[in-house]
Amino acid sequence: MSIKKGIYSASMSILNDDLSLDVDSTIKHAEKVIDDGCHGAVLFGSTGMAQLISSSEKKKLLDKINKSRFKDNFLIGTGSNSLKENIHLMKHSIANGIDRFLIMPPAYYKYNDDGVYAFYSNIIQQVPKCKIILYNFEKLSGYAFNVKIIEKLVNDFPNQILGVKDSSYNLYETLKIPNFLIFPGSEVKLLKGLKLGNSGIISAICN
C-alpha cells in the first residue's frame, strides 16, 4: 500500500499502571484520530515513546493491528538504535500487512552522511519490500538530513525512500524531488508547506 498525502497524527502510546504497553487502548486511540478526520496515524514515533517500548510489546501491537479497519492508514516507527532490531520489527510488521515505516537514524551516537547512507541501505537490503519516510529530527538523533544525502538515497532506492518527516525544518522549504513526500512535523508549518508543494504534516498536536 502506498503512503498517501495528508494530515497524520504522531500517535501516542498508552501505558498500563505497571508501565507496560496498553495495546488495545493504543490502537483504539490511533483509530479514533482517523475517525475524527486525520488521514492516518504514525505509531511508535517520538510521541509514541518508541525508544521506551520493548520490541516484544511492539510485536504484540502489530499482531493485533492487522485486524484494524484502518490498517492501510497506519505508519510504523521502528524506534530502535539497533540495525538488526529495526529490521526484525519491520519484517514482523510486513508479515502483518503494514509495509510503511517512519525511521530515524540512531540517536546518541555521532556519524556523518556516509553512516546514514549505510544505515538505510542495510535496512533496505534486508527488507526490500519496505516503504520509508525518513525522520529528520536533529534534537533527538543528533543528525540533520541535508538535501544531498536525501537525493542520493532517493536516487539509489526510489522504490523504498518515499518521503521525509521534517521536524528540524531545514528541508521543507528547499527540498525539491518529484513525487517525494514532505511532511513538516508541526501544524504551524501546514499552510506554508502546502503552498510550497509539501504533502501534509505529521504532528503530535493531531492527537
The DSSP bridge partners found for residue 8 are 40, 202
CA dist 167 to 19, 27, 47, 141, 153, Å? 28, 24, 12, 11, 19
**How far is it, in rounded angstroms, from Cα 124 to Cα 122?**
5
Do residues 128 and 95 make contact, with C-beta atoms less than 8 angstroms apart? no
3-state secondary structure of 21: strand
Instruction: To the nearest 10°, report the CA torsion of 43, 170, 138, 27.
Output: -10
Q: What is the pLDDT of residue 113?
A: 97
Which residues of the chain carry a pLDDT beneath 70?
1
Cell 517500548, located at residue: 53
Non-local CB neighbours of 7 within 8 Å, separated by 6+ positions? 37, 38, 39, 190, 200, 201, 203, 206
Q: What is the pLDDT of residue 162?
A: 98
Q: What is the pLDDT of residue 109?
A: 86
Q: What is the pLDDT of residue 1?
A: 62
Q: Which one-letter amino acid corresponds to residue 199? A: S
**How far is it, in rounded angstroms, from Cα 14 to Cα 1?**
27
Non-local CB neighbours of 6 within 8 Å, separated by 6+ positions? 38, 39, 40, 199, 200
Q: What is the pLDDT of residue 108?
A: 85
